Amino acid sequence: MRRFTIGLLAAVTLSTALSAVPAHADGGSGRPGLAHCAAGTCHFDVPPGTYDVRVTLGAAAASSTSVSGETRRSLLPETAAPAGKRLTRSFTVNVRTPEGEPTGPDGTPGLSLRIGGSAPALADIRVTPARHARQIFLVGDSTVCDQPGDPYSGWGQQLPQYLREGVSVANYADSGESTVSYLGNPKLWATVRPLIRPGDLVLIQLAHNDKTTDETTYRANLETLVAGVRERGGQPVLVTPIVRRWFNPDGTLNNGTALLVNGLGVDHPAVTRSVAAARDVPLIDLTAKTKELVESLGVEGSKALYLYNEARDNTHTSVRGATAYAALVRDELVTRHLVPKGKVRVR
Protein backbone atom coordinates (compact mmCIF):
# COMPACT_ATOMS: atom_id res chain seq x y z
CA MET A 1 0.00 0.00 0.00
CA ARG A 2 1.29 3.43 -0.93
CA ARG A 3 2.38 5.57 1.99
CA PHE A 4 1.30 9.13 2.60
CA THR A 5 3.86 11.78 1.71
CA ILE A 6 5.06 14.34 4.24
CA GLY A 7 2.88 16.90 2.48
CA LEU A 8 -0.15 14.71 2.97
CA LEU A 9 0.61 14.17 6.63
CA ALA A 10 0.77 17.93 7.06
CA ALA A 11 -2.54 18.34 5.29
CA VAL A 12 -4.17 15.70 7.50
CA THR A 13 -2.81 17.31 10.66
CA LEU A 14 -4.00 20.77 9.65
CA SER A 15 -7.46 19.67 8.58
CA THR A 16 -7.99 17.57 11.70
CA ALA A 17 -6.88 20.44 13.90
CA LEU A 18 -9.50 22.67 12.34
CA SER A 19 -12.24 20.24 13.37
CA ALA A 20 -11.87 18.13 16.48
CA VAL A 21 -15.05 16.17 15.69
CA PRO A 22 -14.88 14.15 12.45
CA ALA A 23 -17.78 13.99 10.04
CA HIS A 24 -19.94 10.91 9.95
CA ALA A 25 -21.08 9.47 6.66
CA ASP A 26 -24.69 10.42 7.34
CA GLY A 27 -23.94 13.96 6.19
CA GLY A 28 -25.16 15.42 9.46
CA SER A 29 -22.08 17.15 10.77
CA GLY A 30 -20.63 18.64 7.58
CA ARG A 31 -17.11 18.47 9.10
CA PRO A 32 -14.00 16.96 7.52
CA GLY A 33 -13.81 13.16 7.56
CA LEU A 34 -10.06 12.66 7.77
CA ALA A 35 -10.42 10.94 11.13
CA HIS A 36 -11.72 8.00 9.07
CA CYS A 37 -8.36 7.77 7.27
CA ALA A 38 -5.14 5.98 8.18
CA ALA A 39 -2.21 4.56 6.23
CA GLY A 40 -3.66 5.52 2.87
CA THR A 41 -7.14 4.07 3.43
CA CYS A 42 -10.35 5.84 4.46
CA HIS A 43 -13.15 3.68 5.84
CA PHE A 44 -16.73 4.75 6.50
CA ASP A 45 -19.19 2.52 8.37
CA VAL A 46 -22.18 2.94 6.08
CA PRO A 47 -24.91 0.48 5.07
CA PRO A 48 -25.27 -0.67 1.46
CA GLY A 49 -26.45 2.15 -0.78
CA THR A 50 -25.19 4.91 -3.04
CA TYR A 51 -22.95 7.68 -1.72
CA ASP A 52 -21.45 10.93 -2.96
CA VAL A 53 -17.78 11.37 -2.11
CA ARG A 54 -16.07 14.75 -2.21
CA VAL A 55 -12.31 14.88 -1.86
CA THR A 56 -10.05 17.91 -1.55
CA LEU A 57 -6.60 17.23 -2.92
CA GLY A 58 -3.32 19.07 -2.54
CA ALA A 59 -0.57 20.03 -0.10
CA ALA A 60 2.36 22.43 0.28
CA ALA A 61 4.30 20.41 -2.29
CA ALA A 62 3.09 19.40 -5.74
CA SER A 63 0.97 16.27 -5.57
CA SER A 64 -0.75 13.67 -7.72
CA THR A 65 -3.58 11.64 -6.24
CA SER A 66 -5.96 8.88 -7.33
CA VAL A 67 -8.80 7.16 -5.46
CA SER A 68 -9.91 3.55 -5.71
CA GLY A 69 -12.35 1.69 -3.54
CA GLU A 70 -14.15 -1.48 -2.57
CA THR A 71 -12.90 -4.34 -4.77
CA ARG A 72 -10.19 -2.48 -6.71
CA ARG A 73 -12.61 -0.11 -8.46
CA SER A 74 -11.00 2.97 -10.01
CA LEU A 75 -13.10 5.88 -8.77
CA LEU A 76 -10.97 8.95 -9.49
CA PRO A 77 -8.11 9.04 -12.01
CA GLU A 78 -4.74 10.37 -10.92
CA THR A 79 -5.16 14.11 -10.50
CA ALA A 80 -2.24 16.55 -10.25
CA ALA A 81 -2.36 19.58 -7.94
CA PRO A 82 0.34 22.30 -8.07
CA ALA A 83 2.26 23.14 -4.92
CA GLY A 84 0.11 25.02 -2.43
CA LYS A 85 -3.11 24.47 -4.43
CA ARG A 86 -6.30 22.68 -3.43
CA LEU A 87 -8.54 20.87 -5.93
CA THR A 88 -11.97 19.47 -5.15
CA ARG A 89 -13.30 16.43 -7.00
CA SER A 90 -16.53 14.49 -6.49
CA PHE A 91 -17.83 11.10 -7.54
CA THR A 92 -20.64 8.73 -6.62
CA VAL A 93 -19.99 5.18 -5.45
CA ASN A 94 -22.16 2.09 -5.05
CA VAL A 95 -21.74 0.20 -1.78
CA ARG A 96 -23.10 -3.34 -1.70
CA THR A 97 -22.67 -6.83 -0.26
CA PRO A 98 -20.87 -8.71 -1.73
CA GLU A 99 -18.74 -5.69 -2.59
CA GLY A 100 -17.23 -7.29 -5.70
CA GLU A 101 -18.45 -10.21 -7.78
CA PRO A 102 -21.99 -11.23 -6.75
CA THR A 103 -20.98 -14.86 -6.15
CA GLY A 104 -17.76 -13.88 -4.34
CA PRO A 105 -17.00 -13.16 -0.68
CA ASP A 106 -18.89 -10.40 1.14
CA GLY A 107 -15.76 -8.28 1.64
CA THR A 108 -15.43 -5.53 4.24
CA PRO A 109 -18.70 -3.92 5.44
CA GLY A 110 -19.05 -0.22 4.72
CA LEU A 111 -17.13 1.91 2.24
CA SER A 112 -13.36 1.58 1.93
CA LEU A 113 -11.45 4.09 -0.20
CA ARG A 114 -7.76 3.85 -1.00
CA ILE A 115 -5.70 6.96 -1.67
CA GLY A 116 -3.04 6.34 -4.31
CA GLY A 117 -1.11 8.08 -7.03
CA SER A 118 2.54 8.98 -7.53
CA ALA A 119 2.49 11.71 -4.83
CA PRO A 120 -0.83 11.41 -2.95
CA ALA A 121 -2.13 14.33 -0.91
CA LEU A 122 -5.60 14.23 0.62
CA ALA A 123 -6.62 17.41 2.45
CA ASP A 124 -10.27 16.57 3.12
CA ILE A 125 -12.87 13.89 2.40
CA ARG A 126 -16.64 13.86 2.89
CA VAL A 127 -19.14 11.07 2.29
CA THR A 128 -22.88 11.72 2.12
CA PRO A 129 -25.87 9.70 0.88
CA ALA A 130 -26.59 10.28 -2.81
CA ARG A 131 -30.13 11.56 -3.20
CA HIS A 132 -30.58 11.74 -6.95
CA ALA A 133 -27.98 9.39 -8.38
CA ARG A 134 -28.51 7.46 -11.57
CA GLN A 135 -27.21 3.91 -11.55
CA ILE A 136 -25.45 2.13 -14.38
CA PHE A 137 -25.90 -1.59 -13.72
CA LEU A 138 -23.48 -3.97 -15.42
CA VAL A 139 -24.54 -7.49 -16.35
CA GLY A 140 -21.58 -9.44 -17.66
CA ASP A 141 -18.76 -11.93 -17.24
CA SER A 142 -15.12 -11.91 -16.15
CA THR A 143 -14.12 -9.38 -18.82
CA VAL A 144 -16.49 -6.87 -17.16
CA CYS A 145 -16.48 -7.72 -13.45
CA ASP A 146 -14.69 -6.25 -10.43
CA GLN A 147 -11.75 -8.65 -10.49
CA PRO A 148 -10.48 -9.34 -6.95
CA GLY A 149 -6.79 -9.81 -7.74
CA ASP A 150 -4.04 -8.05 -9.63
CA PRO A 151 -3.12 -8.10 -12.52
CA TYR A 152 -6.68 -8.89 -13.68
CA SER A 153 -9.22 -6.14 -14.28
CA GLY A 154 -12.61 -5.99 -15.97
CA TRP A 155 -13.60 -2.92 -17.95
CA GLY A 156 -16.51 -2.37 -15.56
CA GLN A 157 -13.98 -2.04 -12.75
CA GLN A 158 -12.38 0.91 -14.54
CA LEU A 159 -15.55 2.63 -15.76
CA PRO A 160 -16.37 4.58 -12.52
CA GLN A 161 -13.30 6.83 -12.88
CA TYR A 162 -14.84 8.28 -16.04
CA LEU A 163 -18.07 9.35 -14.32
CA ARG A 164 -18.76 12.43 -12.24
CA GLU A 165 -20.96 12.87 -9.19
CA GLY A 166 -24.55 11.85 -9.84
CA VAL A 167 -23.84 8.66 -11.80
CA SER A 168 -22.58 5.46 -10.19
CA VAL A 169 -21.68 2.01 -11.45
CA ALA A 170 -23.26 -1.05 -9.83
CA ASN A 171 -21.14 -3.83 -11.29
CA TYR A 172 -23.00 -7.14 -11.08
CA ALA A 173 -20.83 -8.88 -13.66
CA ASP A 174 -19.52 -12.24 -12.49
CA SER A 175 -16.72 -14.51 -13.67
CA GLY A 176 -17.65 -17.55 -15.72
CA GLU A 177 -21.23 -16.56 -16.47
CA SER A 178 -23.15 -17.19 -19.68
CA THR A 179 -26.61 -15.89 -20.54
CA VAL A 180 -27.92 -19.26 -19.28
CA SER A 181 -26.17 -19.21 -15.91
CA TYR A 182 -26.75 -15.49 -15.31
CA LEU A 183 -30.50 -15.93 -15.66
CA GLY A 184 -30.49 -19.13 -13.62
CA ASN A 185 -28.41 -18.11 -10.58
CA PRO A 186 -30.52 -16.39 -7.87
CA LYS A 187 -27.48 -14.30 -6.86
CA LEU A 188 -27.37 -12.74 -10.31
CA TRP A 189 -30.36 -11.66 -12.44
CA ALA A 190 -32.94 -12.37 -9.73
CA THR A 191 -30.94 -10.07 -7.43
CA VAL A 192 -30.21 -7.32 -9.95
CA ARG A 193 -33.62 -6.95 -11.53
CA PRO A 194 -35.51 -5.75 -8.39
CA LEU A 195 -32.84 -3.06 -7.84
CA ILE A 196 -33.42 -1.35 -11.18
CA ARG A 197 -35.25 1.97 -10.93
CA PRO A 198 -36.87 4.04 -13.67
CA GLY A 199 -34.18 5.77 -15.70
CA ASP A 200 -31.32 3.48 -14.65
CA LEU A 201 -29.07 2.10 -17.40
CA VAL A 202 -28.36 -1.63 -17.60
CA LEU A 203 -25.41 -2.59 -19.80
CA ILE A 204 -25.51 -6.26 -20.84
CA GLN A 205 -22.39 -8.01 -22.17
CA LEU A 206 -22.61 -11.81 -22.05
CA ALA A 207 -21.06 -14.08 -24.67
CA HIS A 208 -17.61 -15.35 -23.66
CA ASN A 209 -19.03 -18.31 -21.75
CA ASP A 210 -21.93 -19.13 -24.07
CA LYS A 211 -19.71 -21.71 -25.75
CA THR A 212 -22.42 -24.38 -25.92
CA THR A 213 -25.47 -22.11 -26.15
CA ASP A 214 -27.40 -22.48 -29.40
CA GLU A 215 -28.51 -19.40 -31.31
CA THR A 216 -32.20 -19.70 -30.46
CA THR A 217 -31.45 -19.90 -26.72
CA TYR A 218 -28.85 -17.15 -26.81
CA ARG A 219 -31.22 -14.80 -28.60
CA ALA A 220 -34.09 -15.64 -26.24
CA ASN A 221 -31.90 -15.05 -23.19
CA LEU A 222 -30.86 -11.60 -24.41
CA GLU A 223 -34.50 -10.77 -25.09
CA THR A 224 -35.44 -11.93 -21.58
CA LEU A 225 -32.84 -9.62 -20.05
CA VAL A 226 -33.99 -6.69 -22.18
CA ALA A 227 -37.63 -7.26 -21.27
CA GLY A 228 -36.80 -7.56 -17.58
CA VAL A 229 -35.00 -4.22 -17.58
CA ARG A 230 -37.86 -2.49 -19.36
CA GLU A 231 -40.45 -3.95 -17.02
CA ARG A 232 -38.64 -2.16 -14.19
CA GLY A 233 -38.53 1.14 -16.10
CA GLY A 234 -34.82 0.88 -16.84
CA GLN A 235 -32.96 1.48 -20.09
CA PRO A 236 -31.31 -1.69 -21.47
CA VAL A 237 -28.13 -1.33 -23.50
CA LEU A 238 -26.73 -4.33 -25.34
CA VAL A 239 -22.94 -4.53 -25.51
CA THR A 240 -21.15 -6.87 -27.89
CA PRO A 241 -18.23 -8.74 -26.25
CA ILE A 242 -14.63 -7.55 -26.25
CA VAL A 243 -12.47 -9.42 -28.74
CA ARG A 244 -10.02 -12.13 -27.86
CA ARG A 245 -6.48 -11.25 -28.85
CA TRP A 246 -6.16 -13.97 -31.48
CA PHE A 247 -4.34 -12.79 -34.61
CA ASN A 248 -4.34 -14.18 -38.12
CA PRO A 249 -0.97 -14.31 -39.93
CA ASP A 250 -1.94 -11.12 -41.77
CA GLY A 251 -2.34 -9.16 -38.50
CA THR A 252 -6.14 -9.14 -38.44
CA LEU A 253 -8.64 -10.62 -35.98
CA ASN A 254 -11.03 -11.94 -38.59
CA ASN A 255 -11.55 -15.38 -37.09
CA GLY A 256 -14.12 -17.12 -34.91
CA THR A 257 -11.91 -17.25 -31.80
CA ALA A 258 -11.22 -13.53 -31.78
CA LEU A 259 -14.76 -12.53 -32.73
CA LEU A 260 -16.64 -14.83 -30.34
CA VAL A 261 -18.19 -17.38 -32.68
CA ASN A 262 -18.83 -20.50 -30.60
CA GLY A 263 -18.40 -24.15 -31.48
CA LEU A 264 -21.98 -24.34 -32.73
CA GLY A 265 -21.32 -21.54 -35.19
CA VAL A 266 -23.24 -18.94 -33.17
CA ASP A 267 -21.87 -15.48 -33.94
CA HIS A 268 -22.50 -13.78 -30.61
CA PRO A 269 -21.82 -10.19 -31.73
CA ALA A 270 -24.05 -10.64 -34.78
CA VAL A 271 -26.91 -12.04 -32.70
CA THR A 272 -26.53 -9.20 -30.19
CA ARG A 273 -26.67 -6.64 -32.98
CA SER A 274 -29.75 -8.37 -34.38
CA VAL A 275 -31.58 -8.35 -31.04
CA ALA A 276 -30.70 -4.69 -30.51
CA ALA A 277 -32.16 -3.78 -33.91
CA ALA A 278 -35.27 -5.93 -33.53
CA ARG A 279 -36.06 -4.72 -30.01
CA ASP A 280 -35.00 -1.09 -30.54
CA VAL A 281 -32.29 -1.32 -27.90
CA PRO A 282 -29.22 0.96 -27.89
CA LEU A 283 -26.11 -0.97 -28.93
CA ILE A 284 -22.49 -0.48 -27.94
CA ASP A 285 -20.52 -2.48 -30.48
CA LEU A 286 -17.54 -3.15 -28.25
CA THR A 287 -16.46 -6.03 -30.50
CA ALA A 288 -15.91 -3.63 -33.38
CA LYS A 289 -14.30 -0.98 -31.16
CA THR A 290 -11.88 -3.36 -29.44
CA LYS A 291 -11.05 -5.10 -32.73
CA GLU A 292 -10.07 -1.77 -34.23
CA LEU A 293 -7.89 -0.87 -31.24
CA VAL A 294 -6.16 -4.25 -30.97
CA GLU A 295 -5.41 -4.40 -34.70
CA SER A 296 -4.06 -0.85 -34.65
CA LEU A 297 -1.60 -1.78 -31.89
CA GLY A 298 -0.54 -4.95 -33.66
CA VAL A 299 0.67 -8.29 -32.38
CA GLU A 300 3.27 -6.89 -29.99
CA GLY A 301 1.66 -3.63 -28.91
CA SER A 302 -1.64 -5.26 -28.02
CA LYS A 303 -0.06 -7.70 -25.56
CA ALA A 304 -0.16 -5.04 -22.84
CA LEU A 305 -3.95 -4.76 -23.10
CA TYR A 306 -4.36 -8.38 -22.13
CA LEU A 307 -2.53 -10.69 -19.73
CA TYR A 308 -0.40 -12.26 -22.41
CA ASN A 309 2.91 -11.42 -20.75
CA GLU A 310 1.74 -12.53 -17.31
CA ALA A 311 -0.29 -15.63 -18.14
CA ARG A 312 -0.42 -16.10 -21.94
CA ASP A 313 -4.04 -14.99 -21.54
CA ASN A 314 -5.59 -13.44 -24.64
CA THR A 315 -9.09 -13.09 -23.18
CA HIS A 316 -8.76 -11.23 -19.88
CA THR A 317 -7.53 -7.67 -19.72
CA SER A 318 -4.85 -5.96 -17.68
CA VAL A 319 -5.58 -2.71 -15.85
CA ARG A 320 -4.26 -0.90 -18.92
CA GLY A 321 -6.53 -2.83 -21.26
CA ALA A 322 -9.58 -2.57 -19.04
CA THR A 323 -9.03 1.17 -18.69
CA ALA A 324 -8.78 1.59 -22.46
CA TYR A 325 -11.92 -0.47 -23.02
CA ALA A 326 -13.82 1.42 -20.31
CA ALA A 327 -12.93 4.63 -22.17
CA LEU A 328 -14.51 3.18 -25.31
CA VAL A 329 -17.68 2.45 -23.35
CA ARG A 330 -17.63 5.96 -21.88
CA ASP A 331 -17.36 7.45 -25.36
CA GLU A 332 -20.28 5.37 -26.63
CA LEU A 333 -22.46 6.34 -23.65
CA VAL A 334 -21.95 9.99 -24.53
CA THR A 335 -22.23 9.57 -28.30
CA ARG A 336 -25.53 7.71 -27.94
CA HIS A 337 -26.81 10.30 -25.43
CA LEU A 338 -27.20 7.68 -22.72
CA VAL A 339 -25.18 9.76 -20.24
CA PRO A 340 -24.90 13.57 -20.47
CA LYS A 341 -21.49 14.79 -21.55
CA GLY A 342 -21.24 16.86 -18.39
CA LYS A 343 -21.41 13.71 -16.28
CA VAL A 344 -18.24 12.12 -17.71
CA ARG A 345 -14.53 12.75 -17.30
CA VAL A 346 -12.04 12.88 -20.12
CA ARG A 347 -8.59 11.85 -18.94
Rounded CA gap, 319 and 324, in Å? 9
Asked if residue 243 lies in contact with residue 259, where contact means CB atoms within 8 angstroms, the answer is yes
Query: Closest by alpha carbon to 225, among 115, 138, 324?
Result: 138
β-strand 235-239 against 283-284: which pairing, if any?
A: parallel
pTM: 0.90
Rounded CA gap, 20 and 255, in Å? 63
β-strand 49-57 against 87-95: which pairing, if any?
A: antiparallel
3-state secondary structure of 28: coil
Per-residue pLDDT tens digits for 274-289? 999 999 999 999 999 9
Per-residue pLDDT tens digits for 41-79? 999 999 999 999 999 999 999 999 999 999 999 999 999
| C-alpha triplet 58, 59, 64: angle, nearest 5° | 50
Query: Closest by alpha carbon to 303, among 320, 278, 286?
Result: 320
Per-residue pLDDT tens digits for 214-252? 999 999 999 999 999 999 999 999 999 999 999 999 999
Examine the pLDDT at 26 and tell me if it is beyond 90. Answer: no
